Homo-oligomer: A and B are copies of this chain.
Amino acid sequence: MTGLIEPVARLIESFSRLPGIGPKTAQRLTYHLLRAPDTEARTLAAALIAVRDDVVFCELCFDISTGPRCPICLDPGRDDSRLCVVEEPLDVLALERTRAFKGRYHVLHGAISPVDGIGPERLHIRELLERVAERSVSGDPYGEVVIATNPTLEGEATAMYLAERLREHVGQVSRIARGIPVGGDLEYADEVTLVRALQGRHELTDRSAP
């Protein structure tokens, strides 16, 4: 860029590589850090290094962790009969925030996507199948595996793939509901979502009333 000194150009470029950060935002962030107190840039730099040095993936569920096992896998208070399968560590975070699921997790780190050349072998699917089979063989099978991959083409394909392979080892394989988001508007819902909402309809009982 015209008139840009090298360290500034380099930081702008580094910021631009981040997802969702355009060149204008990268510029604004860089100039902000140039004028902010010295600690702000250095704290961010240290946090970046720490996240790469100190964070690993849990050897059991593949969620992020600071030790070989993540806090959820280590927590004796969780329900060991239920397993929830998600695509990303961020999905675990989102589900944990609801406090509605008390079981364990398994993070696939993606979804099956033939278009992008991502087959089952590129995900932590083998480990999931082994984990479930081991429990089944030891006479204590999972009561339920909830497949909470995204309701996208790839997420649905992954769910179908997993369901087939999990069924023989698990009491029940379930899929999170798809439908109109709470606070959403039928008028603006796409057709596929509406079809899913209709298909997933359930009897109104006292229990399900808001």
Contact = CB atoms under 8 A, between A and B. Distances in A.
Given A5-B66, A31-B89, A52 B41 contact: yes
Interface string A84-104: 000011101100110100000
A25 interface: yes
Q: Which of A29, A38, A49: most chain B Cβ within 10 A?
A: A49
Contacts of A109: 35
Q: What size tier do the contact residues of chain A reach? A: 35 or more
Interface string A8-25: 101101110111110001
A10 B40 CA distance: 13
The quantity of this chain's copies bound in the complex is: 2
A2 B98 CA distance: 10
A30 B3 contact: no
A34 interface: yes
A140 to B, nearest CB: 25
A42 to B, nearest CB: 7
Contacts of A5: 55, 64-66, 70-71
11 contacts: A2-B93, A3-B72, A4-B93, A5-B71, A10-B50, A11-B51, A14-B47, A14-B48, A18-B29, A27-B90, A45-B46
Given A5-B64, A7-B50, 6 more contacts: A2-B96, A3-B96, A14-B48, A33-B51, A38-B52, A41-B51
